[in-house]
Structures are given as C-alpha cells and as structure tokens.
Amino acid sequence: MKPQIAELLSAAVDSLKTQNVVPADLEPRIQVENTRDKAHGDLATNLAMMLAKPAGKNPRELAQLLVDALPDNTLVEKVEIAGPGFINFYLSDESTASLIKAVLEQKAQYGRNNDGEGRKVQVEFVSANPTGPLHIGHGRGAAVGDCLCRLLEATGWDVTREFYYNDAGAQINNLALSVQARCKGLTPDDAGWPEDGYRGDYIVELANSYMNGDTVESADQSFTGAKDADDLEAIRHFAVAYLRREQDLDLKAFAVDFDVYFLESSLYSDGKVEDAVQRLIANGYTYEDGGALWLRTTDFGDDKDRVMRKTDGGYTYFVPDVAYHLDKWNRGFTRVVNEQGADHHSTITRVRAGLQALNTGIPKGWPDYVLHQMVTVMRGGEEVKISKRAGSYVTLRDLIDEVGRDATRYFLAARKADSQLTFDIDLARSQSSDNPVYYIQYAHARVCSIFRKLAEAGQSWSEELGLASLAALELESEKELIVKLGRYPEVVKRSASINEPHNIATYLRELAGDFHAWYNSEKTLVEDDAVRNARLALAEAVRQVINNGLDLLGVSAPEEM
RNA sequence: GCGCCCGUAGCUCAAUUGGAUAGAGCAUCGGCCUUCUAAGCCGAGGGUUGCAGGUUCAAUCCCUGCCGGGUGCGCCA
C-alpha cells in the first residue's frame, strides 16, 4: 500500500512543480510511514515538512497544496493535515479489502518479493571449529543466520548456507592430544595431561569410540577409529569427524542445514592461500620486518599493520581468511553475510583490508557482517554456566532438550543481534501466555480450531463468499487487524535488506496479540452468512500470515495445542 | 590507554533506517469461562530513553564530551 500512496504524492509534487510552488529541480525522497496512533489514520507522510524550506512556505500551507494536488483515486477514503504538517491517509474499504484478498490469493507467497532478483548470496554462520559440542553462542548464530537465510530466500535471493571450520590448527592439535591422553587412560588431574587440554566428558566418549573402532559419518566427514592410542594423526582425523558428526546432529535437531562445509585446510591444499599471498606481494602492500612478512593493512583503515607470515614460516589466521573470502568473491557472491560472535569483530577490518589490497574490484564494505553479542542463560533466577558433557559451557543441545526446538529458535532469533541476550529457561519452558512462542502458535491453532468447529457444525465456508462479504467487517478491531496483515510484506522486505531477522518475531507477537483480542471480543461462527464468511476470511488470512512468519523463523505452526 | 557494541518501565526487550502522546510481555493490583481452546481477554499503576551539550520544524535514533556494562586489542583462531 505504501508504494501506491507514494505514487500519488509524487504526482502531487510534479503538479506543484509545474505551478512553480516547489523548485522544479527538487527530487524529494518521498517517505510514507505507518502511523503508530490510529487517530493519525493508516498511513502518513512528512513530505510537506521536508519541502517547506525549499518551497519557502509553512508546512501546513504546503500540505494543503499537496492534498489539493493529489490525483483522484479509490485507495484513500479521507486525507487530513495534522500536527506540524503531517498528511494522514485513511484507507478506503476497497483498499483494506484488497489487502485481505492478497493474503488469501497468494497464500504461502504472501509477503515474499523478488528484491534479490535471483542473485547469489552466501551466508556464513556457526563456523564452529570441531573441538566440542556447539555452545549457546553457536546456537544464537545458528538461529539468527538461518532466519536470515530464510528471509533472503523469501526476498528472491539464491542463498548458499556455508559453514567454515579449521580442521588443522593448534586447537585441533590440542584436541587430538586430549583424546590421546584419554585413550591412554589419563585424566585431567594426572601428570601427563596436555596443557590446556579439553577436559569435557565428551572427550572420554570420543576416546572410547576411537578405541572401539567405530565409524563416524557427518555431512562432510567419515572416518573409522584406528584403535591405536599412539597414532596421533589417526586420532586427529577421527576426532574431527566425530565432533563434526556431533555438531551435525545438534544442527539437525535445530533444523539448520548447510549447503557447503568449507575446510580451512583446503585453502592450503588447493594453493589458494599461496595465491592470495603472491597477489598481495605483487601489489606491493607487503614488507619484511624482523623475519616476518607484514601486510600494510594501515593503508586500508586498520590501526596497525598485521603479520602475514610468521618467523616460523606459517601464516597467521587472517591470511587464509582473506584467501577464503577471495574464493567467495570468485564464486560469484556479490553479497556475502558473515554471521559471527562479536568477540571476533576485530577480524572485519583485517579481512576487508586484505581484500582491498588484492586489487580485484571487491567493494570496500564487502562482505557484510552480522555480529551477535553474548548469551547469558538463567534458570531459577541464577546464571547457568556449565553443562555436564562439555564441562565449561552451556551447549545448544542442553537447551533444545530442555525447552524444545521452537522455543529455543524463537528466543535466540527474537532479539536484535547486537544486544546482549538473557535466555530465561524457565520462561522458555513455560506453556503459558508468559511464553511468546506459545502465544503466537496458539493464535494459529485457534484459527484452525474455528475451522474444525465449522465443519463439525456442518457449515461451510468458501474463499469466494468470504471475499465477496468483506464489507461486513465493519469493526475497528477488524480494520486494525487487516491493516496489520497489510504491513507484513514491508516487515519482510526491510528485515531482509538490513539483515535483521528479529523484526519478524516482533511483528508476529503483535499480530497474535491483535488477533487474540479480536477473537475474544467477537464470535466468528455467527448466524449471519455475510458476517460469518467475512470473519472466517479474516481469520484464515491471519492464520496464513502467522504461518508464513513462523516459517521464516523456522518455528512450527501447530494446528492443535 | 585505544577500537567496536550496548545503556529505554522493577525485570526481559521493541520502537518502521529523524516523526506526532516512547510501546509490548513478565512481575504487581482489579475484573472476565453456561458462548468458536482461559496456552486467552479487559482494565490500572509504572519513564527526565545513563548524564551534559550540539544539529534539526522535529532526536531513543545523527554529532561531541563524560559515566556505566560487555568485548577485542598475539608472529592464537
């Protein structure tokens, strides 16, 4: 509805230009906004206030001229000028009816658009190293990342979900040593235990599985335990495969699937690291100092230069990072979003600087980053810090097992990523109005229930009859609900464009609230055919939008609760 | 010390990319089941948007400086 109103305003501005009321060379950005207060109509614009200065008129006077210049139309029933110069639009019955019609006709497609025009976008998220079960922070990344992917898919993008991990670094070595120590029967308190070894119980299970000769398979790894406690290389391979499988199972339980698992080690074996290094050297952005090779990242906004190749000959982590991102670019992803914990934010400047130094035409601000802040888990008013298996942190699995997938996903995705999140287990577990997940799902189930009752009563409903009877929706609460439904497409559009999936959760909470209020005040299955058919059409439209929105969050929409 | 993020009702959080009287939920208090699911609804109280300036017709939002919390500052990833 916004674009149509904007068009009317644009025509009005053009008309005022020909009358020399506003300068002809002015190209104002026309903003049409939803009103917060229904006393201000359904939509509003600040256009008159924006144009007041260049036109040399006071805003209210200009607003009147704009209103007078609006073309004839059937969208708007009434236009008012209010406050300092706002122009408020009241939608006609015809346009609200068209909103509900759009939902019923487009069904699962309602709210989707083609902003992406089929272009490729890659979202990298989770990217946990295979050194243990996924923790709650990975869970937040998984929820936010996957919801973002769903949003991008809903807005016409060709999405690739990618998981990157280091399968060869010092951490993996430490993991192998920890497993080996367990294979040999050592415990963390023994003298031979590796320094900073992984102490969680899962290491014991891993060691037992290896010594048992088990075969483990994950999405991208498969390996059989060699049963040899002295073969560190075999242990390393087995441990990586084992933990990758474990993380796979966690992700599966969370309903998150990846298209690509990318191994850091492949960047070396495929020569991509070396290639990137050579390009950086050739471009003249490197220098040797103190036996190390440095990249002049300060040329690109970093606060100090960074070591690329250490004195021991190995590369620092950001070199493969740069090579990895060059590879993403070469794969044709002009839009890339990296979802990661905010504790890694310092890599952003470095990676972007490295990419600029490659001189390959990669835009300065590429790629996008979505950084999520820490998650604190609370139970019984106290912070929960450890899990039994992992020892030192709360696992994603613990949460899914305890509060369920739907609630976990909702809670982790419903907050803006860049603010810290308190995960209240008691709240997420509660099956009551306290819990926004159930609140939204319940609204969906209620509509389904109405239709079941309708069938039980031997009555029928047709979409056609419903749409033909929409004029029977005369109540204020009904009109508000319809307008709310009409806003859904903008919420999707905007959330996807700014990489902020939490808006969907907020919107659904509001929509469910409006629906519950209406449900309680008005009976749907009434005698009057027109009213019943119209209300059922509205209820079905609400159900459809809730269903569409929950799908974007990866949360189920139950028909019965 | 420097960089980045955050600071909104007692608590958890929103606020449509600068708009009108800052909104929900929880908690507290008071109501509503003979009626399509009470996993619900209605009502009440609760605020100097951390503080102080600035830009603007208009600031929770942008700028500057403080205060407080988080996080990063490695030839670790």
- Mean predicted lDDT score pLDDT of chain A: 93
Distance from C-alpha of A435 to C-alpha of A383, rounded to nearest angstrom: 20
Of the pLDDT bands very low, low, confident and very high (cuts 50, 70, 90), residue A264 is: very high
Q: Whole-prediction pTM value?
A: 0.95
Q: How far is the CA of A344 from the C1' of B70 (A)?
A: 14
Average pLDDT over residues A290-314: 91
Nucleotide nearest A316, CA–C1', reads B75
Whether residue A184 sits in one domain with residue A81: no
Residue A432 clears pLDDT 70, i.e. is over it: no
- Asked whether residue A347 is domain-assigned, the answer is no
A342-CA/B1-C1' distance, Å: 22
Q: Is residue A353 part of a domain?
A: no
Last residue within a domain, chosen from A51, A66, A91: A91
Checking each nucleotide's C1' against the CA of A305, the nearest proves to be B75
CA of A424 to C1' of B12 (A): 9
Residue A434's pLDDT band (cuts 50, 70, 90):
low
In a domain, A535, yes or no: yes
Per DSSP, the three-state class of A126 is: coil
Residue A67 sits in a domain of what CATH number?
Answer: 3.30.1360.70
Structure tokens, A272: 């991509």
- Number of separate domains in chain A: 3
Which residue minimizes Cα–C1' distance to B71? A343
In this predicted structure, what is the pLDDT of residue A392?
84
Decide which of A380 and A541 is more confident.
Answer: A541
Q: How far apart are CA A504 and CA A498, in angstroms?
A: 13
CA A439 – C1' B14 distance (Å)?
17
- CA dihedral of residues A254, A146, A159, A110 (deg, nearest 10): 100
The residue-averaged pLDDT of A418-429 equals 87
User: Does any domain span residue A363?
Assistant: no
Closest nucleotide to A510 by C1' from CA: B24
pLDDT > 70 in chain A, percent: 99
Distance between the alpha carbon (CA) of A559 and the C1' atom of B36, Å: 15
Q: Residue A263 domain-assigned?
A: no
Q: Which of A249, A272, A306 is the last residue of a domain?
A: A249
pLDDT of residue A173: 92
Within a domain: residue A460?
yes
pLDDT at A433 over 60: no
Q: What does each C-alpha distance from A233 to A168, A254, A311, A403 come to in angstroms?
A: 11, 32, 25, 39
Question: Which nucleotides of chain B does any protein CB come within 7 A of?
Answer: 2-7, 12-17, 19-27, 35-37, 39-42, 57-58, 69-77
d(CA A66, CA A80): 11
Q: Tell whether A97 is covered by a domain.
A: no
Among the three residues A91, A125, A158, which one is the final residue of a domain in this structure? Answer: A91
Rounded Cα–Cα distance for residues A12 and A6 (Å)? 10
Cα–Cα distance measured from residue A116 to residue A497, given in angstroms and rounded to the nearest whole number: 10
Same-domain pairing of A66 and A175: no
- Which nucleotide is nearest to A439 if distance is taken from CA to C1'? B39
> Which tens digit of pLDDT belongs to each residue from A497-526?
999 999 999 999 999 999 999 999 999 999
Both A436 and A549 in one domain: the answer is yes
Is A547 contained in some domain? yes
**Is the model's pLDDT at A269 over the cut of 80?**
yes
Encoded amino acid at A296, one letter: R
Range of the domain at A176: 170-249
Buried b (16+ CB within 10 A) or exposed e, A317-329: ebbbbbbbbbbbb
CATH of the domain at A452: 1.10.730.10
